[in-house]
Amino acid sequence: MKLKNKKIAIIGGGPGGLTLARLLQLKDAIVAVYERDLDKNARVQGSPLDLHDESGLAALRKAGLLNEFKQNFLPGADKMQLMNEQAVIFFSDHATKPEENYGAEHFRPEIDRGALRKILLESLKPGTVIWNSHFISMEKKGSGWLIHFKNGLSAEADIVIAADGANSKLRPYITDIKPFYSGITMLEGNVYDAQKNVPHIAALLKGGKIMAFGHEKCLLMGQKGNGEIGFYASIKTDAAWAADNGLDYADNTQILAWFKKEYPEWSSTWHELFENASPPFIPRPIYCMPLDQNWESQSNLTMLGDAAHVMPPFAGEGVNMAMLDALELSECLTADDYSTLKEAISVYETRMRKRAAGAAEESLVNGERMHSKEALNLMLNIFAR
């Protein structure tokens, strides 16, 4: 095996990096994951993830972790309702969609990020993840790399894999291509103990998801496994809006006033979310990598997930692409089909770029649909199919 006696450093302990570590360890590779968090409990994980059969779930099957996933997923959390700005329901699959339908093309079971991370972490050999390892820089050393961390420590590796997300610090070692702004910014909020704090919204949500459209804006929300509700107010605006709007994101009163002004035609039903969300709200300008990006492959460095192809979230492909990257990269690195590591990495990167470009294009198109005057009708047509 081309990886024999080679040290592999994965920078970033998200789903993509941890999935890759698991898959490589199953092939007896020497792997260390360097994660900036102080420990596994240092950070609250975000909204639930929906995994797709051909990507995220395929990676878990290959990793031997599908049973663990089935024990931790959120039955019914993938059920969807489409509404207008007045909270009138135009589509619901709550009465028809089975809670468990593994293997079906359109079954996309949800799982809390924290639960998925726990499954992946517990599948790794003890000591695989090295916490408090905030990447600063690296330089070539022999045929490999010397990696430096913020805590003053360094590590050597024969192969480095960037899995450090949309703001990757390793990507510039591979390419200077940068993402472009999609024209859409989302304002994220989170409500704890939703049954108590937002009872009307919780009753409307029914443990699933809501997508509400009206007047070229939308509200997206979903149930979390711990009784929380995560939601996003999504608008088309300029890239500087998040920094220049003058809003205090820790002030619910200000954010509610902004919503009333920005969404004047929308029902007061939605105000409950903004009144009771736990501050601060988080603005998220949505970026995307160029669909035609390309670079010269290296023999000892590559990347996966958002580091390689950050894209809008409007097709639900982000984590699925990262986990499929991990699956395909592990197979390329351990296959006998390629004579050199550079060839193996080149094959992976070529396939990954093509696949990610298709998903990103779909996400961009969906983003335009969801913020158009005909958004509700367009999305109803998609769900009808």
Extract the annotated binding site. Answer: 43, 50, 113, 306
Neighbour-count burial for 270-279, b at 16+ CB within 10 Å, e otherwise: bbbbbebbee
Q: Are strands 80-84 and 209-214 parallel, antiparallel or unpaired?
A: parallel
Annotated binding-site members for NADPH: 43
- The C-alpha angle with vertex 348 and arms to 344 and 351, in degrees rounded to 5, equals 140
Q: How far apart are CA 335 and CA 147, in angstroms?
A: 27
Is the distance from CB of 21 to CB of 124 less than 8 angstroms? yes
Residue 311 CB partners (closer than 8 Å, separation 6+): 288, 289, 317, 318, 321, 356, 359, 360, 363, 364
Sequence ranges of the binding site for FAD: 50, 113, 306
Cis peptide before 109 (omega within 30 of 0): no
The number of CA neighbours under 13 Å toward the Cβ of 322 is 27
Q: Which amino acid is at 21?
A: A
| Number of residues written out for the chain | 385
Residue 12 φ/ψ region, left for φ over 0, alpha for ψ in the -120 to 50 degree band, beta for the rest: left
